[in-house]
């Protein structure tokens, strides 16, 4: 089993609902509080496990704003695990989720430097690294209805831009989405073999326009107005 996320860049609107839901759930979950510094001031700083990057893609004559949520990719070849000097970072064999043992982490930042996706955050308050856990405490919680055993970001997304499932199962929803929409991993050339996949934006459809003569339009509007008045 290889659990991960599919993110649709065509429908993500950059609302940050996934980021705030992630922070809320994980603050009360297995990894402990995600601290904030000066949260209500002019320059708030804090730990976020999911961040949204926005880009202007200029593909003349078409252009598009693309919002790209980024969190841990749960890579098959995770260098963050390899470089960890205490063994705090590890990849689970049973489902492929990359986690951090908070009791072993000493906050040395080596894993953050090794991660090309910027997916790890040093919690300044606790002095340990934090990252996306795919809400591991939620997805295996038998007390929840099966429909709710998904990461908080997936449940919260208002445009259903996020999907969660098993990439080892060709019949899973995530596997089908990747095939149907030509999903791609982020920066595969680096060799980290990320599990999470992104669905590329669709090409904009050409919308036909009418070539309307301004003078002709004005006369039509005037004629319509006179008919309304006459009634």
With vertex at residue 208, the alpha carbon angle to CA 206 and CA 209, rounded to the nearest 5 degrees, is 130
Q: What is the pLDDT of residue 82?
A: 95
In terms of C-beta density within 10 A (0-12 exposed, 13-18 middle, 19 or more buried), how is residue 1 classed? middle
Is the pTM for the entire model greater than 0.85? no
Does residue 59 fall inside a structural domain?
A: yes
Instruction: Cis check for the bond before 223: say yes or no (omega within 30 of 0).
Output: no
Does residue 13 fall inside a structural domain?
A: yes
What are the start-end ranges of the E strands in the chain? 3-8, 36-37, 45-46, 51-59, 62-70, 89-91, 98-100, 121-123, 128-130, 162-166, 197-199
Does residue 222 fall inside a structural domain?
A: no
User: Domain of 62: which CATH number?
Assistant: 3.30.70.20
| Torsion over CA: 141, 144, 149, 150 (sign) | negative
Does residue 231 fall inside a structural domain?
A: no
Does residue 221 fall inside a structural domain?
A: no
Does residue 212 fall inside a structural domain?
A: no
Report the domain count for the chain.
Answer: 1
Under-70 pLDDT residues of the chain: 29-32, 39, 59-62, 204-218, 220-222, 225, 228, 230-231
User: Which range of residues forms the domain containing residue 40?
Assistant: 3-199
- CA proximity to 131, closest of 54, 31, 16: 31
Cβ neighbours, 10 Å, residue 181: 17
Q: What is the pLDDT of residue 206?
A: 59
């Amino acid at each position: 089993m290889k659990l991960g996320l599919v993110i649709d860049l065509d429908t993500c609107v950059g609302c940050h609902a996934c980021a705030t839901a992630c922070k809320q759930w994980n603050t009360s979950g297995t990894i402990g509080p995600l601290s904030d510094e000066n949260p209500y001031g002019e320059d708030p700083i804090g730990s976020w496990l999911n961040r949204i990057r926005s880009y202007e893609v200029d593909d003349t004559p078409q252009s598009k704003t693309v919002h790209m949520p980024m969190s841990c990719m749960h890579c098959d070849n995770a260098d963050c695990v390899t470089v960890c000097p205490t063994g705090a970072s590890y990849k689970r064999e049973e489902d492929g989720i990359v986690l951090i043992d908070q009791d072993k982490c000493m906050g040395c930042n080596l894993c953050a430097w090794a991660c090309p996706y910027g997916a790890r955050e040093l919690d300044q308050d606790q002095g340990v690294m934090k990252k996306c856990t795919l809400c591991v405490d939620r997805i295996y919680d038998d007390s929840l209805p099966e429909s709710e055993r998904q990461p908080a970001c997936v449940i919260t997304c208002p445009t259903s831009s996020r999907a969660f499932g098993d990439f080892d199962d060709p019949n899973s929803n995530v596997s089908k989405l990747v095939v149907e929409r030509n999903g791609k991993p982020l920066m595969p050339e680096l060799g980290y073999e990320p599990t999470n996949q992104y669905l590329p934006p669709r090409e904009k459809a050409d919308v036909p326009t009418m070539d309307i003569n301004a003078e002709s339009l004005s006369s039509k509007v005037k004629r319509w107005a006179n008919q309304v008045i006459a009634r």
